[in-house]
A = this chain, B = another copy of it.
């Protein structure tokens, strides 16, 4: 598996300085690259690694061109990280093995499901009645798309994803719980990626909605009737309770938890591990994490935290005495 530098630049653009016939046999980070591999520098923080890298060629931005030339071949691109992303796509296309059947024979696809052209459905998938899968979408192994749910074009659903399980809805009655049947579905836009074992529940009455370009990592829970706005990216282990309304272009860090029935404006960034218990109406970065410490120090501080309000009162009293 090899690609000459010239054919990379022919496909992806950029300004090549070096031998176009040089064969590239892999992609690697600067510090790990072998002499037949291509690497990239996107973060100026790692500039020092450039000089010592053994890479055959390095993708750099215009500002690093001189430094890169001093060490050998390079491709100059406006956005080296984006160039690298597209290079991984090219690499995968060039080296992919012949694909299996469009719908794996072990998949259970209801005859009343609508499957568009170019769709691939992997082993042990289940696509139920009335579901619709858009053009060129890929369902990897063991994906479930339940009744009447709609997936857009060019989506990728990783193994174990469950789209359209019942939302968690029960009315209390005489000490027990009466099921609220979930009569809505899930509607997913185009170019959405959904990570392994992530679950998106169907709506109670209206639909749960995931807009175009949303990226969801693994083991995420999206409750019924949530809406996640365009191009929002959500890292692994996040939980989003029912009817949360999350804006476009947000980022939610891993294991963050978002309560239900609240709103996040567009371009809100939530730090990993934070618990969002109220609406956030202004773009910006929001955080709520207990800082980790050695256990002995934590124990003291955590114990004091339980008296914090009292401490404030004592401080106030002292201030008054002054």
In Å, the complex CA distance between A175 and B229 comes to: 12
Chain B residues closer than 8 Å to A303, beta-carbon distance:
291, 309
Nearest B residue to A122, CB-CB: B126
Nearest B residue to A191, CB-CB: B176
In Å, the complex CA distance between A197 and B124 comes to: 16
Q: Can you identify 30 A-B contacts, CB atoms within 8 angstroms?
A: A27-B205, A84-B180, A85-B171, A85-B173, A86-B178, A108-B123, A141-B144, A160-B199, A168-B195, A168-B215, A168-B217, A170-B215, A176-B191, A177-B233, A197-B219, A218-B221, A255-B255, A272-B275, A274-B290, A275-B289, A275-B292, A285-B294, A286-B295, A288-B298, A289-B298, A291-B305, A291-B306, A304-B309, A315-B318, A321-B322
Q: How many copies does the complex hold?
A: 3
A201 at the interface (CB under 8 A from B): yes
In Å, the complex CA distance between A19 and B293 comes to: 53
Chain B residues closer than 8 Å to A170, beta-carbon distance:
85, 193, 215, 233
Q: Which of A2-10, A63-71, A89-97, A113-121 contacts B (4 or more CB under 8 A)?
A: A89-97
Chain A residues within CB distance 8 Å of chain B: 26-29, 32, 79, 81-82, 84-86, 88-89, 91-92, 97, 104, 106, 108, 122-124, 126, 128-129, 140-142, 144, 146, 156, 158-160, 162, 165-166, 168-173, 175-183, 191, 193, 195-197, 199, 201, 204-206, 213, 215, 217-219, 221, 223, 231, 233, 235-237, 239, 241, 249, 254-255, 257, 259, 270-278, 280, 284-295, 297-309, 311-312, 314-315, 318-319, 321-322
